[in-house]
Amino acid sequence: MFTGIVTDIGEVRAVERRGDLRARIGTAYDPATIDIGASIACDGVCLTVIDRGRDARGGWFEVQVSAETLAKTNIAPSGANPGWVPGRRVNLERALRVGDELGGHIVSGHVDGTALVVALRDEGESARVRFRAPETLAGFIAPKGSVALNGTSLTVNEVEGAEFGVNLIPHTRAATTWGAVRAGDLVNLEVDTLARYVARLREWG
């Protein structure tokens, strides 16, 4: 489990196909503290560490990405989305430990789909970003509710049909990859777990 509070910005160093996709990600995390089999959220996607080490460029870890994950996320290239290529920066968060501060909201790292950035504008020192969610996920997004976008816990400001907006304060833009967001970007979307369970209970009600 995660909280949606990004603690490092990693960089994709290499990507290759070995059946599934395998990626090496550079990180400021000390590799000695990363266990093989540990979970790290990479742009909101919970991935399992299969190797880690250090070289002249610093620390790194490797993850394996299944076909199901590729189909649900922005990791694979599609249309204008280049996917994970060397040099791409990704938001990182290590798994929550018992006793850690829950600063965002409960995030599973199981991405539901992708959302498209349709517009952004400055509002004072902050930025207002508008997204379009898939129709199948739009019903789980509510004003003042929480969403995880590229692994970042964010509060929804407004919802209009399948589109919704969030506000990015200067700290969020500086501490994550959101400082480089552009219209047309495809981002990983995880809806609030509580909303998912409420919808399921209503189906059985």
Each residue of 27-54: pLDDT tens digit? 999 999 999 999 999 999 999 999 999 9
**What's the count of helices (H) and strands (E) in the chain, helices before strands?**
4, 12
CA angle 154, 15, 171 (to 5 degrees): 25
Q: Is residue 205 pLDDT above 70, yes or no?
A: no
Residue 57 lies in a domain: yes
Q: What is the mean pLDDT of residues 125-138?
A: 96
Element (H, E) at 69: helix 67-72
Q: Check residue 96 and give its pLDDT.
A: 84
Choosing from 59, 94, 129, the residue where a domain stops is 94
Number of Cβ atoms within 10 Å of the Cβ of 200:
10
Residue 123 lies in a domain: yes
Choosing from 94, 127, 153, the residue where a domain stops is 94
Q: Of 117, 100, 118, nearest to 189 (Cα)?
A: 117
Q: Check residue 160 and give its pLDDT.
A: 97
Tally the domains of the chain. 2
- Whether residues 87 and 120 share a domain: the answer is no
Q: Check residue 198 and give its pLDDT.
A: 72
SS3 content of the chain, % helix, strand, coil (to 5): 15, 45, 35
Q: What is the mean pLDDT of residues 104-119?
A: 93
The token pair at 121 is: 């504008």
Q: Which residue has the higher pLDDT, 203 or 153?
A: 153
Residue 39 lies in a domain: yes
Residue 56 lies in a domain: yes
- Whether residues 132 and 162 share a domain: the answer is yes
* The amino acid at 139: G
- The band of 10, judged by pLDDT with boundaries at 50, 70 and 90, is very high
- Whether residues 129 and 56 share a domain: the answer is no
- Whether residues 24 and 52 share a domain: the answer is yes
CA distance 192 to 108: 9
The range of the structural domain enclosing residue 128 comes to 113-204
- Whether residues 152 and 187 share a domain: the answer is yes
Choosing from 94, 128, 157, the residue where a domain stops is 94
Mean pLDDT, the chain, whole residue set:
93
Q: What CATH number corresponds to the domain at position 50?
A: 2.40.30.20
Residue 100 lies in a domain: no
